[in-house]
Structure 1
Amino acid sequence: MAWFISNLSETYESRTIFTLNYRNLPDSLLLGKNAENQIEAKLRTSGFQFLYYKIFKRRIDVDLSQVIYSNGGYVIGEDALKKQMDQQLSQNISLLELDRDPLEVDLYQVNSRKIPIQPKLDLKLKQNYILDGKISMSPDSVVVKGPKNEIDTIQTIKTAIVQLSDVSADFSRTVSLTFPKGLDNSIFSISTATMSGKVSKFSEKIFEVPINVVNVPEGYQIKTFPNTVTILCKATIDRLKEIAASDFEVVADYEQLAGSGSSTLFLDVVQSPLKVYDIKLEDNSVNFVLEQQ
């Protein structure tokens, strides 16, 4: 035992393998799948230290901010790599040589795009409740980095399906994102997002709106029977309080007859207030008489 301990305390030169841990990757580059993950180094140190390396594998951080482009690839020169390793080794260890010069790093240029998130929601609302506005996503987009030929194929990133039933209140859910297959060399900034929506109770209100006839032949006037039409409007209770009949415009276009001789004009709502759930004409057509002025 004494002989063994005595020998371990001696200084030796030998080789050991370090696992490489890449860090400080430049924003314009990505690490490829074929990047070297080990390097062999010749060291001068005590037998105790070599025994330690045999039992416990040592990791070495490689700072990729010092990478350079040379002969069609990215490399870190031997001097730069030795300096990085020396700073991480104990003072009683001398780094003599490496098994390669320089260290080639599998890196490739990347582009980046901001891709909108498309929510997938199966929503069943309680009776007399509506979705007040659009479904919102936070964040509303994903930043993807990868080769141009990969990321240019992506139009939207969809969420996993969220199923909600009998909903009568505002909701918010954290949901996973589903990424397209075949993007082996691309990375995404996030993997989840928050889906939320505002739910309000709605009511109905009836408005009596005058009918406006357009494209009447010159020298003639048109009288419709009746001259107003009833519109049923569905919206939130607070919104209905703000709406007036003047916010609607109903038009009957005389040119639609095209000389057919019909005495019926079809009605069209050409103006309606914002933030309403539904509008419905009680009658879609109206009778008329054409009178010469």
Structure 2
Amino acid sequence: MKTSLKKSDLTLQNNRKTKVFIFFLVLTSIIWLLIELSKTYTSSAEFKIVYKNLPSDKLVQVKPISNVEVAIRAPGFSLLKRKIKSQKISLSLNSLLKKGTSHYILPNTQLSNLNAQLTGETEIIRILKDTIFIEIGKNSTKKVPIIPKTDIQFKLGYNFTEKLKVSPDSIFISGPNKYIDSIDYIATTQLKLYDIYENINEKLNLVIPKNTKNVVLSTNTVKLTAIVDKFTEGSFKIPVTVINQPDGINVNPFPKQIEVIFQAGLSNFNKINENSFLIVFDYKQYENDTTTHFLTPIIKQKSEYISSLKINPAHIEFLLQK
């Protein structure tokens, strides 16, 4: 019994000694770590870059590098903090240098300004990338037309009474001149409509061309409108008119009348009459080729309500009388 108690006391004493040893070991390690972290070290770190102070007459064409490696001197505490949390630095572009067509900055010439941005005892010794190239150009603005992309199919017998209207029909675009110079128009998103028999009134987004950057549109949407109507066919007979007849020569046409066959929307059909057409035959066609025995019609004028027009016959014969 006594032997068992002695063993138990020894075990307790050993456990106490172990705990005391571990405590002092941890305490010593912490003190050592604090001492080490309070020392100043030289290391490298990655900083995010913010570019500022670009001259107003210049424009960055392509986004330059956004991160840079730097050599820093700082206490261990600061180094540990920067390993955990990244920091930004601002580089000024008001001291751009130029060689040929290339623009660049030397970041190491801005060390005093960079160190003023840092907190604590951290000091930037050197930027490891000694030259940063910046692609610079001028900001350009120009006016370009809007081209609607459409796939419109009508119900049988229906069609536009006039062309599609885009509002606005042109816009201003601005951005780097290397991109603006290559843009001749701005397209809309695709509009697909099927079995259409009613008027169209749609809002469409504009599409900035691919492979361009920093291009700004004066508006991002346009309105597309059109009047749709049911179409019907009509016809009139009108007299043949020959122009540019020389003095002393009478052109006797055959036939004396031609038939004009047209299509128009029902809502405007009654606005069309014989005076809605001006179709002539030019005697100079014969003067330019005296071997010809017929004249072809020239449509000088037709009503805006007419969507298609056919003339019968397609040409006339004639006799010359002096």
Instruction: Establish whether TM, by shorter chain, passes 0.5.
Output: yes
Q: Distance in 2 between matches of 1:143 and 1:239?
A: 43
Q: Distance in 2 between matches of 1:219 and 1:139?
A: 52
Q: Distance in 1 between matches of 2:31 and 2:137?
A: 57
Q: How far is the alpha carbon of 1:54 from its aligned partner? A: 0.9
| Structure 2 residue corresponding to 1:277, chosen from 303, 307, 319 | 307
SS at match of 1:277: strand
Question: For residues 24-43 of structure 1, what are the structure 2 equivalents within 5 Å?
Answer: 28-30=58-60, 35=65, 37-43=67-73
Q: Distance in 1 between matches of 2:50 and 2:169?
A: 31
Q: Point out the more displaced range, 9-18 or 249-258.
A: 9-18
What is residue 220 of structure 1 aligned with on the other side?
A: 249
What is residue 54 of structure 1 aligned with on the other side?
A: 83
What is residue 18 of structure 2 aligned with on the other side?
A: none
| Structure 2 residue corresponding to 1:209, chosen from 238, 246, 256 | 238
Q: 1:272 to 1:12 in 2, by over 3 A?
A: same
Q: Distance in 1 between matches of 2:284 and 2:247?
A: 13
How many residues get paired?
Answer: 280
What percentage of residue pairs aligned between the two structures are identical? Answer: 20
Q: How far is the alpha carbon of 1:78 from its aligned partner? A: 4.2
| Structure 2 residue corresponding to 1:107, chosen from 120, 134, 147 | 134
SS at match of 1:3: helix
SS at match of 2:313: coil
Q: 1:131 to 1:50 in 2, by over 3 A?
A: farther
More helix by share: 2
Q: Distance in 2 between matches of 1:275 and 1:76?
A: 68
Q: Distance in 2 between matches of 1:254 and 1:186?
A: 58
Q: Point out the more displaced range, 133-142 or 273-282.
A: 133-142
| Structure 1 residue corresponding to 2:160, chosen from 126, 130, 134 | 130
Give every structure 1 segment of 4 or more consecutive aligned residues whose post-TM-superposition deviation is greater than 6 Å.
Answer: none
Q: Point out the more displaced range, 229-238 or 248-257.
A: 229-238
| CA RMSD, Structure 1 to Structure 2 (Å) | 4.2
Q: How far is the alpha carbon of 1:12 from its aligned partner? A: 3.3
Question: For residues 57-72 of structure 1, what are the structure 2 equivalents within 5 Å?
Answer: 57-64=86-93, 66-70=94-98
User: Unmatched 5+ residue regions in structure 1?
Assistant: none
Q: Distance in 2 between matches of 1:25 and 1:275?
A: 56
| Structure 1 residue corresponding to 2:262, chosen from 233, 241, 247 | 233
Amino acid at match of 2:238: V
Normalising by structure 2, we get a TM-score of 0.65
| Structure 1 residue corresponding to 2:104, chosen from 50, 74, 81 | 74
Residue 174, structure 1, aligned to residue 205, structure 2: yes
Q: Distance in 2 between matches of 1:136 and 1:261?
A: 46
Contact in 2 for aligned 1:119/1:195 (Cα 8 Å): no
Q: How far is the alpha carbon of 1:69 from its aligned partner? A: 1.6
What is residue 278 of structure 2 aligned with on the other side?
A: 249
Question: For residues 148-159 of structure 1, what are the structure 2 equivalents within 5 Å?
Answer: none
Q: Distance in 2 between matches of 1:137 and 1:261?
A: 49
Q: How far is the alpha carbon of 1:137 from its aligned partner? A: 7.7
Q: How far is the alpha carbon of 1:200 from its aligned partner? A: 1.5
Structure whose CA Rg is larger: 2
Q: How far is the alpha carbon of 1:177 from its aligned partner? A: 5.0
Contact in 2 for aligned 1:210/1:229 (Cα 8 Å): yes
Q: Distance in 1 between matches of 2:292 and 2:123?
A: 102
Contact in 1 for aligned 2:111/2:124 (Cα 8 Å): no
